[in-house]
Chain A
Amino acid sequence: MHQLSKGLSSPGGCCARSLVAVTAARTMAAAGSPSAALRRRDLCSRGIRLAGKMRADVVDLLDAYVEQQGLDASASVAAVEGVPLAAVERWDEQTGTQRLLENLAAYRAFRALLAQMLEEQREQLGEADAGLGRALAAVLLQVSAFAYHLEELLRLESRGIPGEEGDEEEDGPPPPPRLSHFERKLRGLGVLRELAQWAVRSVRDLRQLAKPSPATGAAPGLAESP
């Protein structure tokens, strides 16, 4: 997992970068073709199902986390810093690209937060509760995979992919504020709750994207549902 985390946290690594470049070139060459439409629909379909599974896993993980950390499931948690809120006004007025960008930003944030939580989890419990760690790692993978889906969809939209914060700032991400042990628990709870919310929203966003776009004349929307 260490290697994986490293790879995920530094997607600008040589291998990953070269793959992305190859894929982007391929995508640009095929943009607007029927295969691109199929690709978009396939990505949406997988994304919807992935988001659905992610939500189910996060809900299960929330229960395990609350129990393992000795928290109250009904405890109110303040909004997590750095994560866009899933609930937005005038959601149905958003464009597809806007939705994809907001989703991508959110999941990139979740990816970093979950990796931090996983690290803290290992430091705290070691191998004592491997089950919770595996569940966290699984959710982290799903978040990462979903972000990949979003990036692919953005490429199909012929839109540039915004760079991550880590890439933009040469100094790297700001060090996380020093939090107490309990505050870290609460923050973890807040991250998982917000992720569950975002999973629901992502499903709706992708369904919206999968619908046939009169502007683009894309193929009919997918009938699949999570």
Chain B
Amino acid sequence: MFSRWNWVACGFYLVLNICSPDASGGLVQSCGHIIPESPVLALGSNFTALCILNESCLDFGNIYASQIIWKIKNRLVPKEQYREINRTVSSVTFNDTSSLATPLTCNILADGQIEQNIYGITVTVGLAPEKPKNLSCIVHQVSRFTYVMTCTWNPGRHTFLDTQFRLKYRWPEAVFPDCIPKDVNNSCTVNDIQFFVNTEIWVEATNALGKAESDRLVVDPIDIVKPLSPQNVSITSGLLPTVLQLSWENWISDAVMTLKFNIRYRIAGDTNWMEVPPEDTASPRTSFSIQGLRPYTEYVFSIRCMKEDGAGYWSDWSEDKTGVTIEDQPSKGPPIWRIIDTSQSPACWTVHLIWKALKPYEANGVILQYELTVRDKSSLSSPVKKYNVTGTNHTLQLREGTYEVTLIARNSVGPSPPSVLLIPASNSKAPVKNLRTLPKHDKLWVGWTAPNNYVLKYVIEWCLVSSSSDCTIEWQIAQGDVQGIDLKGIKPFKCYLITVYPLYADGQGSGQSVKAYLKQDRPSKGPTVQTKKVGKAEAVLTWNHLTVEEQNGFIRNYTILYKTIDGNETVVTVDPSKTEYTLSSLTSDTLYTVRMMASTDNGSRTGPDFTFTTQKFGKGEIEAIVVPVCLAFLLIVLLGVLFCFNKRDLIKKHIWPIVPDPSKSNIAQWSPQVPAKHNISSKDQMYPEGSFTDVSVVEIEADDKKSFSDQDLKPFDLLKKEKSTSEGHSSGIGGSSCMSSPRQSVSDSDEGETTQNTSSTVQYSTVVLNGYRDQTPVQVFSRSESTQPLLDSEERSEDHAGGADSTAQRQQYFRQNGGQDETNTDRPCFERTKQITHASEGDLVGFVQLQISGQSSQPLGLGMEKNTQEAAVSNVLQTCTEGQTVRPETVEENPLSVDEMPKSYLPQTVRQGGYMPQ
């Protein structure tokens, strides 16, 4: 309990000792202190500190050195580094000060637990200064009488401490104040410097850890002067056009030092300086005449100086000053060339004389005018023509011939030497050989091999080749002893056409041309390829050449790349001159993708893809298939026809059963003309296309002739009436459908009248026309064109023959049911009409007319189909026609049969205007 109270009292005492101010106003004395106080230590050295406790604290607080602990910036120092020297002193040792930090504190553990700070120090660690090195000094002239000396040195390593550098200098008998650098540690400037006395200069570096001095520099400041450059430089033109005089002031007196100079100069606008030989300006002076300059040229001058014996430094160059030399007469004539335009006529030239303005160093002044003289050498009597021109071209109209053109440039001083250009009538001399080009950086070298003859000059023309504009010619003249020049201003990636002409003393050689690029690039675009023709296994590709602007170089080749969708790409290289190529060995009916690449020496560019599909069949393949097939088909058809022809009877019987000839029927025998009809064998000609699809046959036995009653004959009468009625409408009757029937009928009737007069045995048919609307119908007698009623029109002549045979045995009567359309009816009718006409003209005697009673013109109410009527009427007509055609025979052969057979006539009706057969 006592001990605890004791510790509390001790702590309170410590606090009081540390914190309470003493009577003088400061802090009371602490319980201890550290030795050394705020040391500066060399980096890497060892260090020992002592903490000394006060006796008073020992007595009151029971604290001893053994309780001391050391700390570096709140970090406990290992106890191995402690050493208790006695009961009041504890030491700590650091073998390497680099492990130290600030603050280093001495603390005590009161009662073994409570840590109390006794004292602390600040530890500074650094390095001693190194010896300054590389001391050098220079004396700058800052005004006419003022010089300052600036010395620089290498201060060495960083010391981590406040290090002071001093520049010291002295004479043997005098010490000058030190020069202390401001803000820097490696240079200092001395303002008061005196010449002609050797001065000892050195640098002293000092910090808390030591002092170091540089090597001593002993120098007379006059030997390290950098003077001011010469001032007030002026330039005056001399009397000579090649001389300028340079004057200046030296700002350093000869008493201080004598100077030597450097003078440099350049042409204004040029960057290259020329220098006056140093030995010419190695002595003191204030002016110098520069010779060998170009007339009428602006020069820029600059000058500098230094001590004559070479000790010290060159001054800066003075400000540039310019001066212009005076004019001189031009040193050479202008280069001249010509362009001859013979487009108007070969005999009349338009000569464009062009020349280049002299370069400034050639013109030597301002060219006031050019004097042009043209002499016609082919005609000595022609006067010399002179022109004064201010420009650099002149156009003349000259006749074809040889001319000598002389050009002189004149300035204010005088004329230039003349330039002579011979324009021969033709460029018949030898050309240059082996013209070639070679790029050289930004220039294009053009070289050639000289002709065998002596060449005065060469003219090199070049122009930028363009697809959109004309070639603008530039030109240059080279002397005759050179075999190559550099062309300047050539643009890369552009095609130039270069032509070289050799000029001889007595003429001119023809030009040799070459195309060239300064620099090539890959084409700016690729060719666009397309197909011209696509076959089964080949495709013809076409493309256009790239324009010269797109080429960017010489096209060395085209490359065609094509592939199927899933196939490998095939590459074909094509000559650059071609614009077409045929791809072969392609797969039929396949989609191909093709693209084209143009290549120069510097790369390639591919054009757009193009796709095409090869054809499924090759050329002629379809024909090779179709033609044989067709031929085979035709052959089969032909064979079929032949077969059918051979078997026609069988087929006919199968398809068209034999129809009995109604004319051989008993009813037919009722008509007196029937027998004659059956003699006609060309019945099929009248009805070549007639066919019936439905035939009803009524067979009447010849023996039953008597059994026909009037009832049986009525339908036939009605049929006649129908014919007369319908014929007026001209629709269903074959004759009227031919349009010519009524009129024909009339004429026939007229002629027939005569015929009737000669023969009363001829049977007539009468066609009665109804009037049109309210008009009174005119009854006309006409040859009946009707095939009615006996309906055998579709039978062939053979059939008739056969039918005739059967008719002899039996008489048939049949009725048709409209299976024949009008068309089939009409066309034969037309043919018939012609035949009839022919027959009427040939033999009117045998014309047979059938008279139909006028009562039959009433409308028929039998409901018979029109076709039936037509067929019936047609048959009648056929009958008539047949009768007409075979009339001579009939007339001769059938008188007896007519007599023998009972006369039977159809009822006849005479109408107004009608005709009554006699």
Contact = CB atoms under 8 A, between A and B. Distances in A.
Contact of B192 (A8, A57, A138, A145): A138
Interface string A132-161: 001101100110110111010000000000
B256 interface: yes
Contacts of A52: 254-255
B253 A148 contact: no
Interface stretch (B13-21, B117-125, B170-178, B403-411): B170-178
A144 B172 CA distance: 11
B197 interface: yes
Contact of B145 (A8, A47, A60, A151): A60
Nearest to A22: B172
A55 B171 CA distance: 21
A226 B256 CA distance: 8
Contacts of B195: 49-50, 53
Nearest to B197: A145
A16 B255 contact: no
A165 to B, nearest CB: 16
Contacts of A218: none
Contact of A16 (B175, B256, B257): B175
Interface in B167-209: 171-177, 192, 194-198
Interface in A40-77: 46-47, 49-50, 52-53, 55-57, 60
Contacts of B173: 8, 11, 16, 19-20, 144, 147-148, 151
A19 B170 CA distance: 11
B255 A4 contact: no
A225 to B, nearest CB: 9
Contacts of A8: 173-174
B426 to A, nearest CB: 79
Nearest to B253: A56
B194 A7 contact: no
Contacts of B871: none
B503 interface: no
A23 interface: yes
B255 A55 contact: yes
Contacts of A4: 174-177, 192
B222 interface: yes
Task: Determine the main DSSP class of A at the interface with B.
Answer: helix
B220 interface: yes
Interface in A95-146: 134-135, 137-138, 141-142, 144-145
Given A53-B256, A135-B145, A137-B192, A46 B172 contact: no
A56 B255 CA distance: 6
B254 to A, nearest CB: 8
A148 B171 CA distance: 9
Given A55-B255, A56-B253, A56-B256, A148 B197 contact: yes
A47 B173 CA distance: 16
Contacts of A137: 192
B523 to A, nearest CB: 77
Nearest to B255: A56
A180 interface: no
B171 A145 contact: yes
A15 interface: yes
Given A20-B172, A23-B172, A56-B255, A138 B177 contact: no
A122 B256 CA distance: 27
A141 B191 CA distance: 13
Contacts of B192: 1, 4, 134, 137-138, 141
A50 B194 CA distance: 9
A112 B289 CA distance: 49
B174 A53 contact: no
A13 B170 CA distance: 14
A137 B146 CA distance: 12
Contact of B194 (A15, A23, A60, A141): A141
A3 interface: yes
A56 B176 CA distance: 24
Contacts of B254: 52, 226
B176 A50 contact: no
Interface in B426-478: none
Contacts of B171: 144-145, 148
A197 to B, nearest CB: 16
Size class of the A contact interface (CB-based, 8 Å):
35 or more
A103 to B, nearest CB: 15
A144 B174 contact: yes
A167 to B, nearest CB: 13
Given A56-B253, A56-B255, A226-B255, A15 B196 contact: no
Contacts of B177: 1, 3-4
A60 B220 CA distance: 23
A142 B194 contact: yes
A4 B255 CA distance: 25
Nearest to A54: B255
A144 B196 CA distance: 11
A142 B194 CA distance: 7
A49 B222 contact: yes
A114 to B, nearest CB: 13
A13 B195 CA distance: 23
Contacts of A16: 172-175
Contact of B175 (A7, A134, A142, A149): A7
A145 B145 contact: no
Kindly name the residue among A20, A50, A135 whose own CB sees the greatest number of chain B CB atoms within 10 A.
Answer: A50
A3 B220 contact: no
Nearest to A48: B196
Nearest to B220: A46
B563 to A, nearest CB: 94
Interface string B815-832: 000000000000000000
Contacts of B222: 49
Interface in A185-200: none
Contacts of B145: 57, 60, 135, 138
A49 B770 CA distance: 167
B103 to A, nearest CB: 41
Contacts of A19: 172-173
Contacts of B253: 53, 56
Interface string B521-543: 00000000000000000000000
A3 B196 contact: no
B590 to A, nearest CB: 104
Interface in B232-262: 253-257
Contacts of B197: 46, 50, 145, 148-149
Interface in B830-884: none
A62 B54 CA distance: 74
A53 B254 CA distance: 8
Contacts of B176: 3-4, 7
A9 to B, nearest CB: 10
Given A47-B196, A53-B256, A138-B194, A7 B220 contact: no
Contacts of B196: 46-47, 49-50, 53, 142, 145, 149
Given A53-B196, A138-B192, A145-B196, A7 B174 contact: yes
Contacts of A50: 195-197
Kindly name the residue among B145, B171, B255 whose own CB sees the greatest number of chain A CB atoms within 10 A.
Answer: B255
A146 to B, nearest CB: 8
9 contacts: A1-B177, A11-B174, A20-B173, A46-B198, A56-B256, A137-B192, A138-B194, A148-B174, A149-B197
Given A47-B196, A49-B195, 20 more contacts: A3-B175, A3-B176, A4-B174, A19-B173, A46-B198, A46-B220, A52-B254, A52-B255, A53-B255, A56-B255, A56-B256, A57-B255, A137-B192, A142-B194, A144-B171, A144-B173, A145-B194, A148-B197, A151-B173, A226-B255
Interface of A: 1, 3-4, 7-8, 11, 13, 15-16, 19-20, 23, 46-47, 49-50, 52-53, 55-57, 60, 134-135, 137-138, 141-142, 144-145, 147-149, 151, 226
Closest 10 CB pairs of A and B: A50-B196, A56-B255, A145-B197, A52-B255, A141-B194, A53-B255, A46-B196, A7-B175, A148-B173, A19-B172
